[in-house]
Structure 1
């Protein structure tokens, strides 16, 4: 088993674990962070598969922008709910 195969398998298992946490948890914050972690693991996997342009796009949009947008909307919903 090569190092690349081992790292890909490790990332796949970690990604599945984070996805299960995102589905099972009752906390919205934990679910959003877990979904962002799945996207981050996917971007590292794309980097291992020699697709740096796809990895950068996934990291920027999938992990960064989407997670930020979820937390922004969550903050807006909670603020409007207390008024």
Structure 2
């Protein structure tokens, strides 16, 4: 029973990691990365490492994707600001 849960968790991790690599849109990639962190936390719980699972849940599923989304938002905003400044100059 336990080995079945570990195999399922490994398949989820492998699928989520592959989806994160092949996804080209940074926003979607951050969301897939969040799912990857959640599936890693499930894997850590399956191998009886609850402290690592809790850390992974907090950092990998919430904080890192949030930081990526905020960085992408700021870069997009600055690129539109620069495009607007260039069109106004003589």
TM-score w.r.t. structure 1 length?
A: 0.87
Deviations 1:23-61, CA, capped at 9 Å, x for gaps: 112222221111221121111111122211111111111
- Unpaired runs of 5+ residues, structure 2, are 82-90
Correspondence for 1:7:
5
Q: For this pair of structures, how many residues does the alignment match?
A: 81
Structure 1's consecutive aligned runs of 4 or more residues displaced over 2 angstroms after TM superposition are none
Correspondence for 1:57:
55
Q: Which has the larger radius of gyration?
A: 2
Structural mapping, 1:1-83, within 5 Å: 2=1, 4-83=2-81
Q: Distance in 2 between matches of 1:51 and 1:16?
A: 19
Q: CA RMSD in A?
A: 1.2
Q: Distance in 1 between matches of 2:60 and 2:38?
A: 7
Q: Distance in 1 between matches of 2:63 and 2:23?
A: 22
